[in-house]
Chains A and B, each alone.
Chain A
Amino acid sequence: DTEVTQTPKHLVMGMTNKKSLKCEQHMGHRAMYWYKQKAKKPPELMFVYSYEKLSINESVPSRFSPECPNSSLLNLHLHALQPEDSALYLCASSQIPTQAIGYTFGSGTRLTVV
């Protein structure tokens, strides 16, 4: 298995909803990442997990809450989002946290906040 799988592919949520994005990989990668991509813009880093521990938080608002329950799973919990949070959310993984080896992106979750 050489893929990063993200679910759901599309999500529409209201500003008072709570939802979660899921990311899964079975390549034995020990670094996992969340990126946010707005339309016509490059992806921007949100969080980095290294050996299941949060190592980087790029000053992301607390309405985004990451979780790494095990080495294969990465979740992004969403609560009280704003319309400007509508974007493509990309998950990625890398073989080891100290080198960009085997860097792999998922196909993303397209989020719309209404």
Chain B
Amino acid sequence: AQSVTQLGSHVSVSEGALVLLRCNYSSSVPPYLFWYVQYPNQGLQLLLKYTTGATLVKGINGFEAEFKKSETSFHLTKPSAHMSDAAEYFCAVSVSNSGYALNFGKGTSLLVTP
């Protein structure tokens, strides 16, 4: 079954610094991969997704992620952190034998300091 692992439950960066949130996947078939952001007391917002085609995926709010099959990774990056980026970030993979429901990683809480 497809799954994802997020490395680091908490990441702290300074405002203006590079944001790097790590996600590795496990899948025996080509995966569909997603990054979602969740602000406190809100629902999930899609940042970006990889299905097929270009391996560098650009999303909203300046985020991007690169699908690396050789490393089974889909890390999320942003060149310059903003205070408003502080939130919970979830990596997810669609699971083919569960009606393509999403299987989420445990999440990474991003803290941005002034």
> Which size bracket describes the interface of B in this complex?
20 to 34
The total of Cβ contacts below 8 Å across the A-B interface reads 64
Given the complex of chains A and B, what is the CA–CA distance between A94 and B96 in angstroms?
13
Residue interface bits B57-98, CB-to-A below 8 A is 1, else 0:
000000000000000000000000000000000100010001
Given the complex of chains A and B, what is the CA–CA distance between A41 and B88 in angstroms?
10
Q: Given the complex, which residues of B lie within 8 Å of A106, measured CB to CB?
A: 43
Given the complex of chains A and B, what is the CA–CA distance between A104 and B36 in angstroms?
11
**Does B48 lie at the interface of the complex (its beta carbon under 8 Å from any beta carbon of A)?**
no
Q: What is A's interface to B at a CB cutoff of 8 Å?
A: 31, 33, 40-45, 48, 50, 55-56, 88, 90, 92, 94, 97-101, 103-108, 110
Q: Is the CB of A42 within 8 A of B100?
A: no
Q: Given the complex, which residues of A lie within 8 Å of B100, measured CB to CB?
A: 31, 94, 97-100
**Does B17 lie at the interface of the complex (its beta carbon under 8 Å from any beta carbon of A)?**
no
Q: Given the complex, which residues of A lie within 8 Å of B32, measured CB to CB?
A: 99-100
